[in-house]
Structures are given as C-alpha cells and as structure tokens.
Amino acid sequence: MEASLRAKLENIAERHEEVGEMLCAPEIAQDKVKLLQRTREHAELAPIAAAYHELLRLERELADAEQLLADPDMRELAESDVHELRQRLTAHEHDLQRLLLPRDPNDSKNVIVEIRGGTGGEEAALFAADLWRMYTRYAERLGWSVELLSLSEAAAGGIKEVSALIKGKDVYAALKFESGVHRVQRVPATEAQGRIHTSTATVAIMPEAEEIDVEINPRDLEITTMRASGAGGQHVNTTDSAVRITHLPTGLAVHCRQEKSQIKNREIALRLLRSRLLDLEIQRYQNDRAAQRRGQIGTGDRSEKIRTYNFPQDRVSDHRINLTRHAIDDFMNGDLDDVVAALRASDEAERLTEAQGS
C-alpha cells in the first residue's frame, strides 16, 4: 500500500477517535448544530477507521505467518496461511480504496420525492400513480416511513402530482438515481383496440434539506395565501389555507394545500422549497461532473429518459447501465433491490476509475 494512502487512513482513524471524544464534551452536547455536524462526521468516518484497524490486524497476522516459514515443521501450514492472508489483504486494500471515495454528503439524508404525470393524458396520470405505489411499497420493504406532503389527483383516478417525505437509513443513497423520465409501454384499460400506448411520468428525488444545509433570507420570499380548491371538504374550500411561496432569486415556486391549517401548509412549503434549492445546487455540481465523463449515472438530468417499463414484454430496462430485468409485476410491487444495487455499483466503479486515473 502506498505510503500516502496509509498516512491518509491513519489520519482518518485519529480523527474518528478525536471526534468521538468531542461528542462527550459539554460545549458540543449543548450546541444542536455542532452536535449534529460532529455526529454525522463520526458516523461517516467509522467504517473507514474500522477498515483501517482491520488492515493492521491482517498485516500483523501476515507478518507472524511469514516468520513461521523459517520453521521446517510449520512451513507447509505457514505457506497456506500466507497465501490466504495475502489474498485477503489485496481484497481489503481494494475495499479501503472504495471507502475512501468522496462520499456524497447527502447519502444519509431523508428524501422528498415528487412524481408528476407527463405525456400521455389519463394514462400518464395512472402511470404516475403506479410509480407512487411502487416507491411506497419499496419503502415499506426497507422499513422506511412515508409522509404525504401534497397530492393532486386526476379525474380518471390517477395522479397529476404527488410529493412525499421518505424517512429512513440512507434513503437518498438508494433513491437518488431514480430522478428522470420514466416511460411506460402498455395497453391502457380504456383502449378498445388493444393497441400499445407510450406514456411518461417524471420523478424527482431531492435530499431533505435542513436549516444548516440551506439558508433562506426571508426577504427573498414572496408568500401568498389562497383558498384551497378541489376535494377536501367545506372547511378547506372556504378558508385561505393554501400557501404559495416563491423564491425570488431563483424563481422557484412551491404550492401546498394538503392541510387545513395555513401554518402547516406554510411549514410544508418551506420544507419543499429548501429541498428544491439544495437539489438545484446538487444538479449544478452533477452537470459539471457529467460534462467531464462519458457515463450518465447520477447526472440528475430530469429530461433524460432513464427507464422503460414494457408490460407486454414483461421487462424493465434501465437505459443508463443497459440493464434489463423481467418480472415487471414484482418490480412494480417494490422489488427494486437489484436495479438499485446495479446503479450504485456502476456509479461507484466509475468514480473509482476516475480516482485512480487522477
């Protein structure tokens, strides 16, 4: 292992121990922002520090086994141990290089998911509803919680637009590659001739932004209230409970009418706005990175067709990594593990190649 890499690992292990001691300090424990920052840092450094200590242990075992090679009575056994330990060390050093890749600081965050029907009229709205069900089923399988933030239903029973907060362990890390245009090819229930139609829906996955992530100047906000329209009962439609917030510097606007309380709708709208502003910064960074590499993983390009769901052929195809799987009904019921894992592995392999080439 290169001396520079070993020195970096040693510094990380020392920093991990230092931050652990800082978490016990009263001045940190009483400062909410600093406590959150140090807790995150400690958690992010922990796997690297543990892997470094495992490296040292393997190296000690290898050194002990190599010493036994000089003993004629132990040589045969020692040769077997040395061979195995060298293989384990090689594999472990590769794992350490992977762990040292710059971690997306948002990977551990919860996400706000927004799904909208695209081209295709009623069928697009029905497909948006299917995607919403797919992600909620996936969340249930992983023990995540789903909090509905806003919902606009279509007349035919589908969804025009839905926003929700998904909470759990490393939610953004798992879902961040879902952003983009999803295309469906199937025979709609309303199609009398049995013809296959193509429709789309868009998915946006945004890390939930906290106040320490995005600072919003109240003077940059234009807040208007209005009466909520649509279903919701007499109370919703006769009070100014709906809230629209526009961020003047970027032009981003959010609208919330889900709750009967104007205060709650304002809180939800601010959460959505804060996450959209953070997502905007992430997309700028990813677009700059995408311009310097050939792949499309993680570009965050919302206009890109990322996946096709072909029901007649019972297949799901992810166009970014040329992956096709069958059993589409299972996929639509939240069995996304293999595709999510393949997307993450592809991105990781490409970043490792970039790091080794730099």
Domain that holds residue 232: 218-280
Is the same domain home to 135 and 156?
A: yes
**In this predicted structure, what is the pLDDT of residue 210?**
72
Report pLDDT for 234: 42
pLDDT of residue 324: 96
Asked whether residue 330 falls in the same domain as residue 233, the answer is no
Position 259 in a domain: yes
Whether 77 and 222 map to the same domain: the answer is: no
3-state secondary structure 72-102: CCCHHHHHHHHHHHHHHHHHHHHHHHHHCCC
CATH code where residue 260 lies: 3.30.160.20
- For residues 149 and 156, is the Cβ–Cβ distance under 8 A? no
Q: Is the separation of the CB atoms in 203 and 180 below 8 Å?
A: yes
How many residues are there in the chain?
358
Residue at which a domain ends, from 99, 128, 157:
99
Does the residue 288 lie in any domain? no
Q: 338 and 207, same structural domain?
A: yes
Q: Could you tell me the two tokens for 172?
A: 């953004």
309, 328 Cβ separation under 8 angstroms: yes
The CATH number assigned to the domain holding 302 equals: 3.30.70.1660
User: Does 118 reside within a domain?
Assistant: yes
| Residue 179 CB burial class (10 angstroms; 0-12, 13-18, ≥19) | buried
Same domain for 334 and 304? yes
Using the 3D structure, point to which of 99, 129, 151 is the last residue of a domain.
99
The count of domains in the chain is: 3
On whether residue 59 sits in a domain, the answer given is: yes
Does one domain contain both 181 and 306? yes
Does some domain include residue 344?
Answer: yes
- Would you say residue 106 lies in a domain? no
> Strand, helix or coil at 268?
helix
- Are 94 and 21 contained in the same domain? yes
Question: Using H for helix, E for strand and C for coil, what is the string for 122-181?
Answer: HHHHHHHHHHHHHHHHHHHHCCCEEEEEEEEECCCCCEEEEEEEEECCCHHHHHHHHCEE
Residue from 184, 125, 142 nearest 313 by CA = 184
Residues 70 and 207 in one domain: no
3-state secondary structure 306-355: EEEEECCCCEEEECCCCEEEECHHHHHCCCCHHHHHHHHHHHHHHHHHHH
Is the CB of residue 176 less than 8 Å from the CB of residue 275? Answer: no
What's the whole-model pTM score? 0.68
Task: Please check whether residue 285 lies inside any domain of the structure.
Answer: no
| End residue of a domain, out of 99, 129, 149 | 99
Instruction: List pLDDT tens digits, range 186-224.
Output: 998 767 677 899 999 999 998 887 765 677 888 888 888
Tell me, yes or no, whether 180 and 309 share the same domain.
yes
Same domain for 95 and 152, yes or no, is: no
Residue 125 and residue 94 share a domain: no
Q: Is residue 104 part of a domain?
A: no
pLDDT for res 294: 42
Return the structure tokens found at 290.
């995408």
Residue-by-residue pLDDT tens, the chain, 358 positions: 778 888 889 999 999 999 999 999 999 888 888 898 899 889 889 999 999 999 999 999 999 999 999 888 889 999 999 999 999 999 998 888 888 887 787 888 899 999 999 988 899 999 999 999 999 999 999 999 999 988 989 887 899 999 999 999 999 999 999 999 999 999 987 676 778 999 999 999 988 877 656 778 888 888 888 876 554 444 444 457 888 889 988 888 888 887 778 888 888 888 888 888 888 887 776 676 555 444 434 343 455 799 999 999 999 999 999 999 999 999 999 999 999 999 998 988 888 777 666 5
Residue 240: what pLDDT?
72
Query: In this structure, are 91 and 21 located in the same domain?
Result: yes
What would the two tokens of residue 284 be? 């700028």
- Amino acid type, 200: T
Chain position carrying tokens 């800082």: 22
User: Which amino acid does the sequence have at 211?
Assistant: E
Cα dihedral sign, 259-265-269-275? negative
